[in-house]
Every structure is written in C-alpha cells, then in structure tokens.
Chains A and B, each alone.
Chain A
Amino acid sequence: MNIIVCIKQVPGVTDVKINPETNTLIREGVSSIINPFDMYAIEEGLRIKEKFGGKVKVISLGPPQAINALREAVGMGADEAISLSDRAFAGSDSWATAYALALAIKKMGDFNIILCGKQAIDGDTGQVGPGIASQLGITQLTYVFKIVKLEPESGMIMVERLLEEGREIVEAKLPVLLTVVKDINQPRGATLYHLRRAAKLRIPVWTAGDLPEADLSKLGLKGSPTQVIKISSPPKREGMLDLIKTDSVEHSAAILADKIIAEKIL
C-alpha cells in the first residue's frame, strides 16, 4: 500500500488568547503545530502500512518552516516527506491549494490511498481534500472515522463515515482519498529512532518550477478564485451576564427557568 498523507502546519491554538478590547488573537511566543486532524491522518497511514506494508509519504504546502511539520511526521514513522514551498503558492485559497497538491501528488508516483484531516483548524474549510480528489479524478470518502475493511488484492475499501444524522458504511474501489475525523485513532508520539531519522532525512523542497504540468496562472493568490476583501471583529454578544444568586438551589433554579422561558425560545 502506498499512502500519501497531506498535512498542514497551523498556529498552535493552545496558546492563543483573545484580547477582550480588540477581540483579536494574542499570541505569546511563536509556535506552530501539525493540524490536529492531520495527526489522525498520519496515524491512520502508519497503521495501514504496518498491516499491509508499503510506504507512507507526507506532503505539505506552506511557508519554508512547514518543513518542521514534515520532520515531526517523519519522527512518528513516515518514510518520506515532500515540502511544497514557493512564493508562487503564497495566498492560495482552497482551490489553488488543492490544485498545487494534486499536481505534486501526481509527480510523487503511484499511490493507493491519500489521507487528509477532515479540515484545518485555522481555515476550517474542509475543501482541500475533496478538491485534491476531484483534480486527480479519484473517489473521495470524507469524515471517515473507521476503516472497516481494506483488501489490497481486490482493491476494495469499506469505511464508516460520520454524518449529522448518524453513521454510514460506504464501500469503494482504490485508489481513494479519505478525510478523517478525530475519533478514528489515537496518534502515536515520536520515537527516538524515527526522530534521529527525521533529523537526517533530506526533505526535497518543490517549487512551482518542479511541477511542469502547472498552469502558473492557477497558482497562489492570482490563481485563487476567492478573495478576502474585509476582515472584521465578530458581532459582540449583546447584554451582560445575569448571574443568579439566591439562598437556595431551588429558588435559583426557579428563577433561571423563568428567565429562560421568558426568552421565548423553548
């Protein structure tokens, strides 16, 4: 099984706070992490490899320091890594990101399964996975939280997807692109052996020039159909906290129930 995992480096959200006056993010220090959903994708790739053999290759499109995210993935056990980094890719929206990644994946050679996290926690779009699948003309199975069956000989995969009203079992033919949700596994930590390997591994950096099929007008900001024209603060919540304090739990509960009923939302 040849597995490609697409990962994104995102701001480490754990140390983000909101400035209550400007309602913007305050960051102390600079830390970047692998998008948490992509950690599940890496882990799932490693598990498939352990069961069926093959290789796990990770790829990331981003600024030069995204190579650190790739090294982290190699530290978990990924075999190879490709960094897709060039000023020509900067400002890519989800369409242009998927376009560049799909071209790079074509260049990486044969694959059976592509894994992505269901979405990145900074952009939250969940569109890049389906975009890559369409660009490559392969089947996409999104929001996967369990691989029920995988038969390399017959090229069959069966997965459980997590939807609003429940779960769904879908069967498809390889190659497929899967986007995975949080519950699919418990990502492993790095091991000393793989960390040493990661430190030494030469990670190729591909630029737009390394993608000969690329239509340069479809890359980066100028190739992105969408354009951000305004950034604003979210609407402020109206009103202040009404903290209910009485001498008894029953009394407080009665007041709270009345106030909720008075909102006319029940």
Chain B
Amino acid sequence: MPLLEVDKDKCIGCGGCVEACPLGALSLVDDMAVVNDKCTACGACMLACPVHALNLPDARPRKSSENLAAYKGVWIWMEQFHGRTGSISIEMLGQGRKLADTRKVALTACVLGHNVEHIAKEAISFGADRVFLADDESLADYTTAPYASTLISLIREYKPEIFLLGASARGRDLAGSVASVLYTGLTADCTGLEIDPENDLLLQTRPAFGGNIMATIICPDHRPQMATVRYRVFEMPVADDKRQGQVISIKAAMRPEQITARVIDSILEKDEINLADARIIVAGGRGVGGPAGFETIRKLAVVLGGAVGSSRGAVDAGWISYAHQVGQTGRTVRPDLYIACGISGQIQHLAGMKTSKVIVAINKNPDAPIFNVAHYGIVGDLFQILPALTEQFRKKLHH
C-alpha cells in the first residue's frame, strides 16, 4: 500500500504526475491517476499536479517528549584542517548570524582541534557571539567518534535550536553521526536556509533528483534542527576584528585510549583539484581527446587561477583522475565561472555544475546540451579557441 493518496474527486486524469514520477509509480487507469508500490513518498508528483489531487497524509500525530522551547540558539561547526579554517564555515557564520538575528538568539561556533585558539577569535570576528573551544591533542586530526561525542555532549547540555555544518566530506561524516545519536532531523546539502515567520521553524531547501527538483524540508518535533550546507551558497561575511565574544573552553569527550581510528597521513592535492572551494573551474570532457589535451585546459586554468574539472567520460577514459570529476557521480560545484570545454553536457554532468554563476561552453557540436545551460558559448575546436582565450586573458588580466 503506497502512502500517496489520490483524491478521485479532484483528479482530472491529465497524466502530469505520471510524467513527473521518477520511480514509475504512477499510471493512468480509466483517466484517473493510480499509484503503485513503487511510490516512496518523495512528493515529486505533487508539484506537477495542477489540481492538487495528490496528498501525502500527515501520518505523524506525534507528541514531543521534550520541551522544544528549551532549545535556543544557532550553532555552527567550524571545520578546520591543520589549523586552517574551512571557507565553508566562514560562509555559514554569515548566514548563521542572519538566522540568529531573525530568531533574536546568540550565534555559537564550535571549534574542535589542537592549537586552534586563533580559530575561536576568527569565528568571533565573523559574527559568533560565543565559542566553545575544545583544544586537545586527541582532536588534532579529524576522526568521527572523538568529534561527534564532544559535540553530542555539548548539544545535550546547552540545547541549541539549530546546528549547521558544511557539506564537506568531514561535515557530512560528522553530521550523519551526530544526528543519528541525537535522534534528530538532518537535511543534507542545503542551498537555502531561512526561518518560517509563522512558526519559527528552519526552512531547509535542497536539490533532489540531480537538481531537477528543489525540496523544502522541516524538522518540526526534534531538536536541534540540523543541516549541512553546500559550498559557496551563502555570501562570505566581512571580518570585524573589534567584535567581542565569549570563549568557553571545554574538554574532549573521549579519552585517547578510547579512540579506535587514527589518521596516519594526509596527502594534499595541488590547489587545482580543490573543486569545492574553487571560484573558477575550467573543465574538459571527451572532446579533449586524451591526457595531453588536458594540458590545454590546465593552461587556461592557471592563467585564471582556477581549478581543473572534468566530465565523467574523460575520467572513465583514464585521461584524468576521479578527484577532478564534476557531476552526479563526482563533485557538485557552484563556482563563479565554469568553462566547459569539449563537454557535451549530459544530465548527470549538468546536475553537478548548472548552478554555477557564469557558464561558458566551448564545443564543436552546436546541438550539444551544454549550450542549453551556458551563458556564453563558442562553437568550434577547443584546441584553437582555448589557446587564443588563454592568450587574451594573459594580456588583459596580467598587464
């Protein structure tokens, strides 16, 4: 029995829902929408229905055992690596400040690590009112359990209303663990966060189905309301070194002998691969023709100070490593500038880059789907166009 209900009095048999269903769970029988067992209650059909005939009944008459009003304040986890703050955490301090002001509550930053007192100060300069600082040798490298247990005990004691983390590898690793133990809601990869003025709930908006649908999600009965936030969605706040805040030192929750995972080594990639953080990405696809062709891509990336991306096709062909892959099975990016060279623009690739601010497509095939999402385009041979473009930027930007 599927959860979705079709209101037979309202359904006009238009079939819009049948097309919209990504799971093939809807069909038309006697001009009426019929739902089968494939339905997972994702809600994609509800958008397509012009007459609001589809409903997911609210099967949650649930009483909250805890007093939700006891939960106050907006918290941010400050991600750091070798003492350097992640840009995503700074972006979240900016948005966190706005949310805290709307709710008229304090903004708290959680800094965990070793020799990271400077990050506590940095967090205050970017908007935090209060910092919990767990400075301990056992927290020097991120591993899940010591970080999660420290945050969980803090959350249980101080009860924040909202807790936000960056949607980085570490942020998603940590958030999943913390929310699971606390039995609270967690929304992954949000691109929008605001407070609903009617009920003060956090409205968390995220892309689903490869970015073809936006879902707004709430966590009505559990606290804290947790979300991970995508890179480069929110504006970077401006630091104010005169801002004052409180720094509270706390202890790590696990003793070193309790920790069962240990970081042995880190192998840093060159900056050209850090796609998540990159403001500019020059990406190559099948049209690049081989590993040597990526040199042409790389030269333009260097002149622009950007990272090198690639389509799945080029990775699968072995021309460039997976760390560069943009798209549904690679990384999702939203740089200020994305230059797609020799990339046809399959839906899986578009899902990973189409929210970039400015998209440039260079492709031999004028009908390539990449041109449907591009702002600027040139139809032609990338091996002629890219060197010319690189030369133009070299002249115009560096002189």
Per-residue CB proximity of B256-267 to A under 8 Å, as 1/0?
000011111111
Tell me the chain B residues, 345-371 only, with Cβ under 8 Å from chain A.
347-348, 354-355, 357-358, 360, 371
* Known A-B contacts A127-B179, A131-B180, A254-B392; A13 and B264 likewise in contact (beta carbons under 8 Å): no
Contact of A228 among B16, B172, B177, B216 (CB under 8 A): B216
> When chains A and B are docked, how far (Å) is the Cα of A143 from the Cα of B144?
13
The smallest beta-carbon distance between B199 and chain A, in angstroms, is 11
Contact of A13 among B20, B220, B348 (CB under 8 A): B348
Tell me the chain B residues, 301-320 only, with Cβ under 8 Å from chain A.
304
Residue B207 lies at the interface, judged by CB distance under 8 Å to chain A: yes
Q: Are B185 and A93 closer than 8 Å at their CB atoms?
A: yes
A residues less than 8 Å from B266 (CB atoms): 166-169
B residues less than 8 Å from A212 (CB atoms): none
Nearest residue in B to A126 (C-beta to C-beta)?
A: B172
Residue A123 lies at the interface, judged by CB distance under 8 Å to chain B: yes
B residues less than 8 Å from A142 (CB atoms): 144, 169, 172-173
Q: Are B59 and A221 closer than 8 Å at their CB atoms?
A: yes
* Known A-B contacts A13-B210, A17-B347, A234-B207; A263 and B38 likewise in contact (beta carbons under 8 Å): no
* Known A-B contacts A142-B169, A229-B216; A234 and B329 likewise in contact (beta carbons under 8 Å): no
Residue B336 lies at the interface, judged by CB distance under 8 Å to chain A: yes
Contact of A121 among B48, B184, B329 (CB under 8 A): B329
Residue B221 lies at the interface, judged by CB distance under 8 Å to chain A: yes
Residue B377 lies at the interface, judged by CB distance under 8 Å to chain A: yes
> When chains A and B are docked, how far (Å) is the Cα of A13 from the Cα of B352?
14
Q: Are B221 and A260 closer than 8 Å at their CB atoms?
A: no
> When chains A and B are docked, how far (Å) is the Cα of A173 from the Cα of B258?
11
* Known A-B contacts A232-B47, A250-B388; A140 and B173 likewise in contact (beta carbons under 8 Å): yes
Q: Are B337 and A260 closer than 8 Å at their CB atoms?
A: yes
Q: Are A172 and B260 closer than 8 Å at their CB atoms?
A: yes
Tell me the chain A residues, 1-48 only, with Cβ under 8 Å from chain B.
11, 13, 16-19, 22-27, 29-32, 36-37
Q: Are B39 and A139 closer than 8 Å at their CB atoms?
A: no
Per-residue CB proximity of B169-192 to A under 8 Å, as 1/0?
110110111011101111111000
Per-residue CB proximity of B359-393 to A under 8 Å, as 1/0?
01000000000011111111110001100110111
A residues less than 8 Å from B60 (CB atoms): 221-222, 224, 227
Q: Are B183 and A266 closer than 8 Å at their CB atoms?
A: no
How many A residues face the partner with a CB closer than 8 A?
A: 104
How many B residues face the partner with a CB closer than 8 A?
A: 118
> When chains A and B are docked, how far (Å) is the Cα of A253 from the Cα of B337?
16
> When chains A and B are docked, how far (Å) is the Cα of A161 from the Cα of B378?
38
Residue A191 lies at the interface, judged by CB distance under 8 Å to chain B: no
Q: Are A266 and B337 closer than 8 Å at their CB atoms?
A: yes
A-B contact pairs, 17 of them (CB 8 A): A22-B19, A25-B212, A87-B3, A133-B177, A135-B180, A139-B145, A143-B169, A162-B323, A169-B264, A221-B56, A222-B62, A229-B216, A234-B213, A243-B371, A249-B380, A252-B380, A263-B358
B residues less than 8 Å from A121 (CB atoms): 210, 328-329
- Report whether over half of chain A's contact residues are helix, strand or loop; otherwise say mixed: mixed
Binding site for A on B (CB under 8 A): 1-3, 16, 19-24, 37-44, 46-48, 56, 59-60, 62, 81, 143-145, 148, 168-170, 172-173, 175-177, 179-181, 183-189, 203, 207-222, 260-269, 273-277, 279-280, 304, 321-323, 325, 328-330, 336-337, 347-348, 354-355, 357-358, 360, 371-380, 384-385, 388-389, 391-393, 396-397
Residue A182 lies at the interface, judged by CB distance under 8 Å to chain B: yes
A residues less than 8 Å from B336 (CB atoms): 265
> When chains A and B are docked, how far (Å) is the Cα of A127 from the Cα of B187?
9
Q: Are B179 and A131 closer than 8 Å at their CB atoms?
A: yes
Residue A163 lies at the interface, judged by CB distance under 8 Å to chain B: yes
Q: Are A18 and B212 closer than 8 Å at their CB atoms?
A: yes
Residue A153 lies at the interface, judged by CB distance under 8 Å to chain B: no
Residue A230 lies at the interface, judged by CB distance under 8 Å to chain B: yes
The smallest beta-carbon distance between A253 and chain B, in angstroms, is 4
> When chains A and B are docked, how far (Å) is the Cα of A167 from the Cα of B16?
45
> When chains A and B are docked, how far (Å) is the Cα of A201 from the Cα of B46?
38
Contact of B173 among A130, A222, A229, A260 (CB under 8 A): A130
The smallest beta-carbon distance between B196 and chain A, in angstroms, is 9
Nearest residue in B to A157 (C-beta to C-beta)?
A: B261
Q: Are B37 and A64 closer than 8 Å at their CB atoms?
A: yes
Q: Are A227 and B208 closer than 8 Å at their CB atoms?
A: no
* Known A-B contacts A90-B3, A233-B47, A266-B280; A253 and B358 likewise in contact (beta carbons under 8 Å): no
Residue A192 lies at the interface, judged by CB distance under 8 Å to chain B: no
B residues less than 8 Å from A165 (CB atoms): 81, 268-269, 274
* Known A-B contacts A139-B145, A143-B169, A253-B391; A127 and B323 likewise in contact (beta carbons under 8 Å): no
Residue A245 lies at the interface, judged by CB distance under 8 Å to chain B: yes
Contact of A226 among B217, B347, B388 (CB under 8 A): B217
Q: Are B268 and A166 closer than 8 Å at their CB atoms?
A: yes
Tell me the chain A residues, 76-95 only, with Cβ under 8 Å from chain B.
87, 90-91, 93-95
